[in-house]
Amino acid sequence: MKHPALASALTTCFFLSACATNTTITVTPAEIRNKIQHAHVTVLPIAQPAPLTEKTKAQAVGNFIFSSVISSVVGSSGSASNPQQFQANVDIATSFGNELSKALPTSYSVASGKGADLALAKKISDYFAKSDPSSNPADQKLSIAVGAPLWELGYTSFLGSEDYALNYHIQVSVLEKSKDSTTPLKSVSCAAAAPEKMPLEQWQSNDYAALNASAQTIVDSCFKRFLTETGLADAAGLIHAIH
């Protein structure tokens, strides 16, 4: 059964906002690398991977028709004895229709095609497991949170094409904990649309095989970006050379 992905969105916001009142500290890649290399690093578990949502043309058409019908009913419910009252009713109906359209869900979650955030968290966790993390109990504790605020198959054009794109926004946050507060040190975002475009049915075929292939490429790319923006890319190359 398809349903709005509200719970997952709230979970993602919780992890990635860790301390919403704190301002992210601006640090250079060299500085963040030094902090990471002299800290106990843990990757926060993901209890519920961000689900795939599908933003379909059928849903958009349904929302438009529904809001139009309701706003028409609202506009005709009041009596209009003069042009001014008629225009007022039209304005009320238009405003109501616009607000209703904003409130209606534009996409629904599906059971398959999820797990990109979980895969990236696992990849980062495996990296730190191989990188000889600090064992000094006096060292600072850092945690890494991975979330996917956007993981969606959406239509590319309402009229001109039947193609859908995999739109994504995956975010990795490095968090520093001291006593009772948590400070975001670095946030790395991967946000774009996968280069592959195809009809929704092709994305869905074989239990979302095409989407899973794209997801692996996205995860690998985002992992490399995380290493680069945290100054760990050189260290990663050294580890691979050793192994």
Query: Are both 122 and 44 inside the same structural domain?
Result: yes
Query: Are both 235 and 124 inside the same structural domain?
Result: yes
Q: Are strands 108-110 and 52-55 parallel, antiparallel or unpaired?
A: antiparallel
- pLDDT for 58 equals 60
DSSP state of 3: B
Measured distance between the N- and C-terminal CA atoms of the chain, rounded to whole angstroms: 46
Within a domain: 129: yes
- pLDDT for 119 equals 94
Q: Which residue, among 57, 15, 5, has the nearest Cα to 170 in the 3D structure?
A: 15
- Rounded CA gap, 239 and 242, in Å? 5
Contact by Cβ (8 Å): 99, 67: no
Bridge partners for 146 per DSSP: 172
Number of domains in the chain: 2
- pLDDT for 135 equals 57
Report if pTM > 0.95: no
Q: What is the CATH number of the domain that holds 154?
A: 3.30.160
Query: Are both 142 and 217 inside the same structural domain?
Result: yes
- pLDDT for 141 equals 86
Query: Are both 137 and 194 inside the same structural domain?
Result: yes
- Domain that includes residue 75, residue range: 58-103
Within a domain: 10: yes
Query: Are both 26 and 95 inside the same structural domain?
Result: no
Query: Are both 78 and 196 inside the same structural domain?
Result: no
Within a domain: 87: yes
- pLDDT for 77 equals 53
Within a domain: 220: yes
- pLDDT for 38 equals 86
- pLDDT for 215 equals 94
Q: What's the average pLDDT block by block, 10 residues per block, for the chain (243 residues)?
A: 38 39 63 89 91 78 45 50 54 48 49 86 92 61 94 88 95 88 91 96 94 95 96 63 35
Query: Are both 69 and 116 inside the same structural domain?
Result: no
How remote is the C-alpha of 222 from its chain's centroid? Answer: 13
Select from 46, 70, 103 the last residue of a domain. Answer: 103
- pLDDT for 16 equals 43
Within a domain: 148: yes
Within a domain: 197: yes
Q: Give the Cβ contact number of residue 150 at 10 Å.
A: 15
